[in-house]
Amino acid sequence: MPVCEAVRARAERVLDLVAGAGASGDLIVSEGTSLSFKARDGELEEHKVSSSRIFGVRVLKDDRAGIAYSEASDGEALRSMVAQAITNASFARSDPDERILDHDGILATDDALLCPTDDTSLEEKIDAALAIERRLAARAKVKNVPYNGVLDVAGDRHVFSTAGLRAHSRSRVCSAWAYALLEDGDRNVLDGTSRAARRFAELDIDAIVDETHARCLALIDGEAVPSRRYDVAFDIECQSALFGVFAMMFSAKAARDGVNPMRDKVGEAVADGALNVCDSPRRSDGLRYTLFDDEGTATKTVRLIDAGRLATLAHSSATAAHFGLDPTGHGVRSPRGPLGVGVHQLNIEAGRESETALASGEYLEIVDLTGLHSGANPVSGDFSFGAAGFLCRDGERRRPVRNVTVAGNFYEMLKRIAAIGDVERWNAARSSLMARIRFADVAISG
């Protein structure tokens, strides 16, 4: 394809400059287009389109790494980028563990799967945005739908290295969302839902409308419950967000840097024995499906917690070399950043408890968490969030709950698992696949 050839030619020039400076290196080129619409009062409020391209180089010279990036792709900009990276490397610490892997050859993913052709027209996408807002606005008690929209993002990602790696992947994600404000006398609530898929036509607009309205109606009369300890079951969105906030516990880079409290606990029990967690990057029904990481290392299913024991951390080549292990296919790098470590598709495996058993007796079902970015400390494990949900008994929602906080220590909470459900579900972004967990004895303040 002409675009790929143009990128490839520029990449070869960049890598020639790197090699000419006596260094090794890799280059990530990320290209993308996006299209989005938002509606307001029955009309299109915002229409946004974009096209972008960024080059990001990492050089290794004398065991020192330097990075630089450029959104300009003319010859002078790319020469300047390489020169900056070489200069930056001269100030960095010596780290013999970080190197360019000997991967060569061509790697590619299945474009037809990850970036399917979608013949949904512009008009149909606009109609979808308008329909979400119009249908929700017509529902009972809905004052307005201040946050709504549809988005179609497609991108190409290339990784080139001086060792000869030529990797390319293409992806597409379509999404739609709606957050409605409901009012009933003095009471109000703002809540919503979203969906994501690879084809626009797979987005279930009716489900977004129905689910958003149902959530808001169910929560609007919510009140605080007395402060004490409850059993708590998060919905899949909240549970996925919670594990995401504390994902550093699986990072070998954080362990190497001395900030991961799990750094000396591989092989030890860190959770209840019923908990099994793995990374499943090759589940193609997830939207973070990937066959290779950003160093070109093949991905595979990696068991992270096995029957409550920390089985391994997630490794890039650099952390693996540091700990004397093999890379696990978790090297991640954005064009703007250094080599890091990241989990692709976190999977909490189904447990033995039926959904009915999971919901036995009294518990608090939490369906909304606020303050996730500020109320958690992954180093200590301490957290405190605003929360909303339902006080339940035997699977039945007895009363809506709002204006409460949920607090504790996440790493301690993993040891107080009362039950794990036997059904795995994707979150709305289809980035993590989880069975629901019921945690025992969690502090709720109201």
Partner 1 sequence: MIESRTARSVIDHAVSLGADFVDLFVERNQVNEISTLSGEVQDIGSGIDFGIGVRLVYGTRVLYGFTNRTGAQELERIVSDLAAKDRRDPATSARSFDYRDVPDVHRARRTLARDPETENKATWLLAADRSARAASNLVAQARGSCAQREQAVEIFNSEGLHVRDTRHYVRARLTAIAADGSEQATGTATEGGLKGWEIAEAVDPEETGAEAARQALVNLSARPCPSGRLPVVIGSGFGGVIFHEACGHLLETTSVAKKASVFHDRMGDMIANPVVSAVDDGTLVREWGSINVDDEGMATERTQLIRDGRLVGFLADRIGSEQTGYPRTGSGRRQSYAFAPASRMRNTFIEPGEDRFEDMIASIGRGIYAARMGGGSVQPGTGEFNFAVTEGYFVEDGRVRYPVKAATLISTGPDVLKRISMVGNDSALATGMCGSVSGAVPVTVGQPTLKVDEILVGGNA
Residues 351-370 that bind partner 1 (CB under 8 A): 370
Q: Does 62 bind partner 1 (CB under 8 A)?
A: no
Q: Which is nearer to partner 1, 189 or 434 (CB)?
A: 189
Burial 20-33 (b: 16+ CB within 10 A, else e): ebebbbbbbbbbee
Site string for partner 1, 230-259 (x = CB under 8 A): ---------------------------xxx
Contact, 340 vs 358, CB < 8 A? Answer: no
Contact, 193 vs 215, CB < 8 A? Answer: yes
CB-side neighbour CA atoms (13 Å) of 221: 8
Instruction: Give me the least distance between CB of 368 and partner 1, in Å please.
Output: 10
Judged by DSSP in three states, 327 sits in coil
Total number of residues that touch partner 1 (CB under 8 A): 76
Binding segment for partner 1 (CB under 8 A), chosen from 106-114, 237-245, 307-315, 335-343, is 335-343
How much helix, strand and coil, in percent to the nearest 5, is found in the chain? 25, 40, 35
Q: Which of 327, 337, 332 is nearest to 247 (CA)?
A: 332
Site string for partner 1, 92-131 (x = CB under 8 A): xx----------------------------xx--x-----
CA 227 – CA 236 distance, rounded (Å): 24
Q: Does 32 bind partner 1 (CB under 8 A)?
A: no
Tell which positions 148-187 bind partner 1, by CB under 8 A.
181
Q: Does 47 bind partner 1 (CB under 8 A)?
A: yes
Q: Does 1 bind partner 1 (CB under 8 A)?
A: no
Q: Does 43 bind partner 1 (CB under 8 A)?
A: yes
CA 410 – CA 377 distance, rounded (Å): 9
Binder of partner 1 out of 144, 274, 311, 440 (CB under 8 A): 144
List, in order, residues 6 or more apart from 87 with CB less than 8 Å away. 66
Binder of partner 1 out of 67, 115, 238, 437 (CB under 8 A): 67
Instruction: Give me the least distance between CB of 256 and partner 1, in Å please.
Output: 9
Instruction: Give me the least distance between CB of 377 and partner 1, in Å please.
Output: 6
Alpha helices in 166-292 (DSSP H): 205-219, 236-245, 252-256
Instruction: Give me the least distance between CB of 400 and partner 1, in Å please.
Output: 14
CA distances from 91 to 64, 84, 243, 253, 391 (A): 8, 11, 36, 21, 56
Q: Does 409 bind partner 1 (CB under 8 A)?
A: yes
Q: Which is nearer to partner 1, 235 or 349 (CB)?
A: 235
Rounded to 10 deg, the angle between the 205-219 and 122-137 helix axes is 20
Binding segment for partner 1 (CB under 8 A), chosen from 22-30, 59-67, 155-163, 282-290, is 59-67
CA 418 – CA 409 distance, rounded (Å): 16
